[in-house]
Amino acid sequence: MKTYDKFLDYYDEIVRWMNSSLEDEIEFLEFDAIKNYAPETKNILETACGTWVVAKELIKLWYNYTWLDINPKMLEKAEKNLKNLEKKLVLWDMTNFNFKNKFDLVLCNYNSICHLLSWESWQNFFKNSFENLKKWWLLVFDINTIFEFENITRDFAQFYNFWENTVCLEMFKKWNIYQWLIKIFEKQENWNYNLTEEKVEEISFPISKIKKELLSQGFEMLEIIDYHFWKVTTESERVYFICKKI
Ligand SMILES: C[S@@+](CC[C@H](N)C(=O)[O-])C[C@H]1O[C@@H](n2cnc3c(N)ncnc32)[C@H](O)[C@@H]1O
């Protein structure tokens, strides 16, 4: 079973146009994170960039942009969608990257870090981000909390219709891993449906553990924010970390 290869045909519409407003997300990144804490930011590295959506908006706002993702199909789609914009897309693992030029901002958006399934890989991501940042500049990333994953696991399956095709998303828990089972039903000419199944696995860790690790790796914690309600509580679903390399 594959990961994101087929789902990415539907990913942007489900994630950005149906579940979460891209406009709100860009406003948050632009004003609450970047302008608030590092208004001089120019060179951004977006890790686990996916298909382009965030990059395409931020790049319009005068930033120099470099992307990396581990999935070549994501990068292919990003490349097509970015058309004439300058492209610096790199196929690389976010637990092990090293650029010659250092960045003003390392961004890892939309719970991408939760795709790293061991604590050691989270530690490696922080270490790589630290090494690829200029001193005094920012790492910004968000997580889905354990509370959020537990809620989704208890929820009914989600169905999304695209003309005659349907995408069904369900989450299951296996030990401490949360597993999306994605079923895509696509109508064929003979009125049969073709079913493709994909699996995306995610994990999360307590906010206090993440904060402690970041501090021990040499970051200063500027802010930990609940994306929806600002103040972080035990019921926060999506939480952003804004940290400075010191
Ligand atoms: C939920 S998507 C988010 C994409 C994008 N950041 C956004 O805001 O839409 C997660 C992305 O993480 C990428 N990914 C997963 N593991 C990775 C790794 N080890 N290194 C780099 N990218 C990874 C996937 O290929 C996918 O594009």
pLDDT at 144 over 80: yes
What are the tens digits of pLDDT across the range 208-245?
999 999 999 999 999 999 999 999 999 999 999 999 99
Give the atom of ligand 1 at the shortest distance from the alpha carbon of 48: 22
Closest CA to 123 of 243, 200, 212: 212
With the most atoms of ligand 1 within 8 angstroms of its CB, the residue from 45, 73, 113, 115 to mutate is: 115
Ligand 1 centre to CA of 49 (Å) is 6
For residue 131, name the pLDDT band (cuts at 50, 70, 90): very high
Residue-level pLDDT at 87: 66
Ligand 1 centre to CA of 5 (Å) is 12
What are the tens digits of pLDDT across the range 1-47?
567 888 988 998 898 877 778 889 999 999 999 999 999 999 999 99
Place of tokens 């200063």: 220
Rounded to an integer, the average pLDDT of 165-169 is 96
Residue-level pLDDT at 21: 86
Nearest CA to ligand 1 atom 17: 70
With the most atoms of ligand 1 within 8 angstroms of its CB, the residue from 69, 79, 82 to mutate is: 69
Residue-level pLDDT at 86: 64
What are the tens digits of pLDDT across the range 41-100?
999 999 999 887 887 788 777 788 898 999 988 888 877 777 666 668 888 999 999 999
For residue 174, name the pLDDT band (cuts at 50, 70, 90): very high
Provide the phi-psi class of 65: left if phi over 0, else alpha when psi is between -120 and 50, else beta.
beta
Query: Quick check: 195 and 17 in contact, CB under 8 A?
Result: no
- The answer, yes or no, to whether any atom of ligand 1 lies below 6 A from the CB of 74, is yes
Nearest CA to ligand 1 atom 26: 50
pTM, rounded to two decimals: 0.95
